[in-house]
């Protein structure tokens, strides 16, 4: 089978401030990682200055035109499988998708062909627009809502940088047990629970700092719909924090609130805000509350 490639071209003009700057430094300042530079150097026509191939050490002059050709081979280990998922936004650099429940984000030994990666691979192949699968913000298998997929190494580098700098704002909606009347912040470290590969816990001694801001949105007799904004992105952060606060998520069997009417944790990635890694403009997306969470609230209002 012929390999699939993802290709993207970029052009830049060196300004007065770049006079004498090395090509490699010029590209690093525009978000090209070390790995991206290696990929460019290995690609025929990957780095052109005024139409000619150049070394990264070559100095630039004002007005020089840089043309970059990113060509990434798409690995075949992710099997394309036709699975439903929502596409909220797409361009040549990224996708914002709406993940359904019961869909892991990445393949694993027990989840080989039922993941978002499989679904994205199928979508790309059918469009003739395959790309290396890079999921920027992750969600648990049964958490629904918004995720960002970077479509090439340059957009991935920019988005991962925003994640590290906590510049991607992630807001969730959750239904928790009991009544919460006031907004607040939980600032408690989260760590792995001993003897468990999955479960997390509040760990004041060894855990990593985790900060969740929450506010009530709607109340029922024995539940509250809350909005949660994350400063950090620890595994199971909202689930662990709300359980430690005495308000576990409805349906979260792992942290103390099993319910037949909600067979998964009632958690939804509702809003994402970030800066487009290539175009530099602010982006914001919202995903409506999914039907199962709407039904739970509706049946108990």
CB 164, CB 157: distance < 8 Å: no
User: Of the residues 93, 98, 140, 252, which is catalytic?
Assistant: 140
Tokens representing residue 207 in the block: 């855990």
List b or e across 212-239, with b for residues whose CB sees 16 or more CB atoms inside 10 angstroms.
bebebeeeeeebbbbbbebeeebbbbbb
Judge whether 170 and 269 are in contact, CB under 8 Å: yes
Q: Is 140 a catalytic residue?
A: yes
CA distance 36 to 27: 10
- Both structure tokens of 71: 């060509």
272: exposed, middle or buried (Cβ count in 10 Å: 0-12, 13-18, 19+): buried
For residue 253, give both structure tokens: 């069997």
Alpha helices (H) in 9-59, listed in sequence order: 23-28, 34-42
SS3 (DSSP) at 70: strand
The residues carrying an active-site annotation are 140
């Amino acid at each position: 089978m012929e390999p699939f490639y993802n290709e993207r071209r970029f052009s830049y003009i060196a300004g007065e401030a770049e006079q004498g700057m090395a090509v490699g430094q010029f590209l690093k300042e525009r978000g090209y990682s070390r790995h991206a530079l290696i990929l460019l150097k290995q690609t025929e026509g990957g780095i052109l200055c005024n139409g000619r191939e150049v070394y990264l050490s070559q100095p630039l002059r004002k007005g020089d035109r840089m043309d970059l050709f990113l060509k990434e081979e798409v690995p075949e280990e992710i099997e394309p499988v036709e699975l439903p998922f929502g596409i909220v936004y797409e361009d040549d650099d990224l996708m914002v998708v709406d993940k359904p429940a019961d869909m892991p984000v990445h393949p694993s030994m027990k989840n080989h062909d039922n993941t978002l990666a499989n679904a994205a691979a199928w979508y790309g192949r059918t469009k003739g627009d395959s790309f290396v699968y890079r999921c920027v913000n992750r969600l648990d298998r049964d958490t629904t809502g918004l995720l960002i997929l970077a479509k090439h190494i340059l957009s991935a580098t920019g988005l991962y940088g925003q994640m590290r700098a906590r510049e991607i704002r992630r807001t969730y909606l959750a239904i928790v047990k009991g009544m919460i009347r006031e907004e607040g912040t939980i600032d408690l470290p989260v760590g792995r629970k001993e003897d468990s590969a999955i479960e997390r816990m509040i760990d004041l001694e060894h855990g990593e700092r985790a900060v969740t801001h929450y506010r009530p949105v709607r109340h029922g007799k024995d539940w509250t719909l809350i909005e949660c904004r994350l400063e950090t992105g620890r595994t199971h952060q909202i689930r662990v924090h709300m359980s430690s606060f005495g308000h576990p998520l409805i349906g979260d069997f792992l942290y103390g609130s099993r319910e037949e009417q909600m067979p998964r944790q009632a958690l939804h990635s509702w809003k994402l805000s970030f800066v487009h890694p290539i175009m530099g403009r602010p982006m914001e997306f919202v995903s409506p509350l999914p039907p199962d969470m709407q039904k739970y609230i509706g049946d108990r209002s």
